[in-house]
Amino acid sequence: MPKTPAWNQNIGSYLSGYTDGEGSFCVSFSPRPKLKTCIEVRPSFSVSQNGDRREVLDLFREYFHCGTVRKNPSDKTYKYEIRSLDMLIEKIIPHFEQYPLLSSKRKDFEKFKLICGWMKEKKHVNKSTLVDLISFACSMNSSGTRKYTKEYLLRLIT
Protein backbone atom coordinates (compact mmCIF):
# COMPACT_ATOMS: atom_id res chain seq x y z
CA MET A 1 0.00 0.00 0.00
CA PRO A 2 1.31 3.49 -0.76
CA LYS A 3 2.32 5.51 2.28
CA THR A 4 0.54 8.68 1.22
CA PRO A 5 -3.25 8.57 1.33
CA ALA A 6 -5.01 8.64 -1.99
CA TRP A 7 -5.69 12.35 -2.13
CA ASN A 8 -5.32 12.37 -5.89
CA GLN A 9 -8.68 10.61 -5.66
CA ASN A 10 -11.53 13.02 -6.42
CA ILE A 11 -12.76 13.12 -2.86
CA GLY A 12 -15.96 15.01 -3.75
CA SER A 13 -17.05 12.29 -6.18
CA TYR A 14 -15.97 9.57 -3.76
CA LEU A 15 -18.11 11.01 -0.94
CA SER A 16 -21.09 11.38 -3.29
CA GLY A 17 -20.70 7.74 -4.26
CA TYR A 18 -20.50 6.73 -0.62
CA THR A 19 -23.56 8.84 0.15
CA ASP A 20 -25.51 7.25 -2.68
CA GLY A 21 -24.98 3.93 -0.90
CA GLU A 22 -25.12 4.83 2.77
CA GLY A 23 -26.38 8.41 3.09
CA SER A 24 -29.77 9.88 3.87
CA PHE A 25 -31.51 13.19 3.29
CA CYS A 26 -34.28 13.42 5.82
CA VAL A 27 -36.90 15.91 6.99
CA SER A 28 -38.43 14.84 10.28
CA PHE A 29 -41.23 16.37 12.35
CA SER A 30 -41.88 16.49 16.09
CA PRO A 31 -44.99 17.66 17.96
CA ARG A 32 -44.12 20.86 19.88
CA PRO A 33 -47.26 22.27 21.57
CA LYS A 34 -45.45 25.47 22.51
CA LEU A 35 -44.71 26.39 18.89
CA LYS A 36 -47.29 28.45 16.94
CA THR A 37 -47.54 25.71 14.34
CA CYS A 38 -47.37 22.92 17.02
CA ILE A 39 -44.73 21.13 14.89
CA GLU A 40 -40.96 21.38 14.74
CA VAL A 41 -39.34 20.68 11.37
CA ARG A 42 -35.84 19.19 11.39
CA PRO A 43 -33.92 18.62 8.17
CA SER A 44 -30.76 16.56 8.34
CA PHE A 45 -28.12 14.92 6.21
CA SER A 46 -26.59 11.78 7.68
CA VAL A 47 -24.37 8.85 6.80
CA SER A 48 -24.24 5.70 8.94
CA GLN A 49 -21.56 3.07 9.19
CA ASN A 50 -20.44 0.21 11.39
CA GLY A 51 -17.95 1.35 14.00
CA ASP A 52 -15.12 -0.73 12.54
CA ARG A 53 -15.12 1.59 9.53
CA ARG A 54 -15.98 4.95 11.04
CA GLU A 55 -12.95 6.55 9.36
CA VAL A 56 -15.10 7.46 6.36
CA LEU A 57 -17.47 9.38 8.65
CA ASP A 58 -14.49 11.31 10.01
CA LEU A 59 -13.55 12.01 6.39
CA PHE A 60 -17.01 13.51 5.79
CA ARG A 61 -16.56 15.77 8.82
CA GLU A 62 -13.09 16.80 7.73
CA TYR A 63 -14.27 17.52 4.21
CA PHE A 64 -17.35 19.55 5.12
CA HIS A 65 -15.84 21.23 8.21
CA CYS A 66 -19.11 20.80 10.06
CA GLY A 67 -21.40 18.14 11.54
CA THR A 68 -20.79 15.54 14.21
CA VAL A 69 -19.96 11.83 14.39
CA ARG A 70 -21.92 10.05 17.12
CA LYS A 71 -22.25 6.48 18.28
CA ASN A 72 -25.72 4.98 18.14
CA PRO A 73 -26.28 3.73 21.70
CA SER A 74 -28.56 0.89 20.54
CA ASP A 75 -26.10 -0.86 18.21
CA LYS A 76 -22.54 -0.75 16.93
CA THR A 77 -23.13 1.87 14.26
CA TYR A 78 -21.84 5.43 14.04
CA LYS A 79 -23.57 8.31 12.34
CA TYR A 80 -22.22 11.46 10.74
CA GLU A 81 -24.95 14.08 10.87
CA ILE A 82 -25.56 17.72 10.00
CA ARG A 83 -28.72 19.35 11.30
CA SER A 84 -27.88 23.04 10.98
CA LEU A 85 -30.09 24.56 8.25
CA ASP A 86 -27.38 27.09 7.42
CA MET A 87 -24.71 24.41 7.02
CA LEU A 88 -27.07 22.27 4.95
CA ILE A 89 -27.71 25.21 2.63
CA GLU A 90 -24.16 26.52 2.52
CA LYS A 91 -22.20 23.27 2.37
CA ILE A 92 -24.20 20.10 1.79
CA ILE A 93 -26.58 21.19 -0.95
CA PRO A 94 -23.90 22.91 -3.08
CA HIS A 95 -21.72 19.80 -2.77
CA PHE A 96 -24.39 17.47 -4.12
CA GLU A 97 -25.12 19.89 -6.92
CA GLN A 98 -21.47 19.84 -7.88
CA TYR A 99 -21.05 16.07 -7.38
CA PRO A 100 -24.54 14.70 -8.02
CA LEU A 101 -25.98 11.44 -6.79
CA LEU A 102 -26.46 9.04 -9.68
CA SER A 103 -29.14 6.76 -8.19
CA SER A 104 -32.81 7.54 -7.62
CA LYS A 105 -31.77 8.86 -4.18
CA ARG A 106 -31.17 12.02 -6.13
CA LYS A 107 -34.94 12.60 -6.18
CA ASP A 108 -34.90 12.75 -2.38
CA PHE A 109 -32.02 15.19 -2.53
CA GLU A 110 -33.93 17.46 -4.91
CA LYS A 111 -36.94 17.49 -2.58
CA PHE A 112 -34.66 18.05 0.41
CA LYS A 113 -33.09 21.03 -1.34
CA LEU A 114 -36.51 22.58 -2.00
CA ILE A 115 -37.60 22.09 1.61
CA CYS A 116 -34.41 23.64 2.99
CA GLY A 117 -35.05 26.63 0.70
CA TRP A 118 -38.62 26.92 1.98
CA MET A 119 -37.33 26.82 5.55
CA LYS A 120 -34.88 29.60 4.76
CA GLU A 121 -37.95 31.57 3.62
CA LYS A 122 -39.60 30.68 6.96
CA LYS A 123 -42.44 28.74 5.32
CA HIS A 124 -42.29 26.19 8.13
CA VAL A 125 -43.41 28.73 10.75
CA ASN A 126 -46.68 29.46 8.96
CA LYS A 127 -49.46 26.88 9.26
CA SER A 128 -50.75 27.14 5.69
CA THR A 129 -47.31 26.73 4.08
CA LEU A 130 -46.27 24.11 6.64
CA VAL A 131 -49.11 21.91 5.40
CA ASP A 132 -47.57 21.90 1.92
CA LEU A 133 -44.11 21.29 3.35
CA ILE A 134 -45.31 18.26 5.34
CA SER A 135 -47.13 16.74 2.37
CA PHE A 136 -44.05 17.19 0.19
CA ALA A 137 -41.63 15.83 2.81
CA CYS A 138 -43.76 12.72 3.35
CA SER A 139 -43.20 11.76 -0.29
CA MET A 140 -39.45 11.40 0.45
CA ASN A 141 -37.57 8.24 1.52
CA SER A 142 -40.41 5.98 0.48
CA SER A 143 -38.56 2.88 1.70
CA GLY A 144 -38.15 4.26 5.22
CA THR A 145 -40.61 4.58 8.08
CA ARG A 146 -41.90 7.72 9.77
CA LYS A 147 -42.56 8.08 13.48
CA TYR A 148 -45.63 10.23 12.77
CA THR A 149 -47.91 9.78 9.76
CA LYS A 150 -48.72 12.64 7.45
CA GLU A 151 -52.35 12.48 8.58
CA TYR A 152 -51.37 12.72 12.26
CA LEU A 153 -49.10 15.72 11.62
CA LEU A 154 -51.73 17.55 9.56
CA ARG A 155 -54.31 17.01 12.32
CA LEU A 156 -51.92 18.67 14.80
CA ILE A 157 -51.88 21.86 12.73
CA THR A 158 -55.56 22.26 11.96
| Sites of contact with its own copies (CB under 8 A) | 1, 5-6, 9-22, 49-50, 52-53, 55-56, 59, 99-100, 102-106, 110, 142-143
- Of 113 and 124, nearer to its own copies (C-beta) is 113
Q: Are 59 and 142 in contact (CB under 8 A)?
A: no
Q: Are 102 and 70 in contact (CB under 8 A)?
A: no
Q: Residue 141 has what DSSP assignment?
A: -
| Smallest distance from its own copies to CB 147, Å | 22
Q: Are 78 and 57 in contact (CB under 8 A)?
A: yes
| Smallest distance from its own copies to CB 99, Å | 6
Q: Are 65 and 91 in contact (CB under 8 A)?
A: yes
Q: Residue 46 has what DSSP assignment?
A: E
- Of 20 and 146, nearer to its own copies (C-beta) is 20
| Smallest distance from its own copies to CB 67, Å | 17
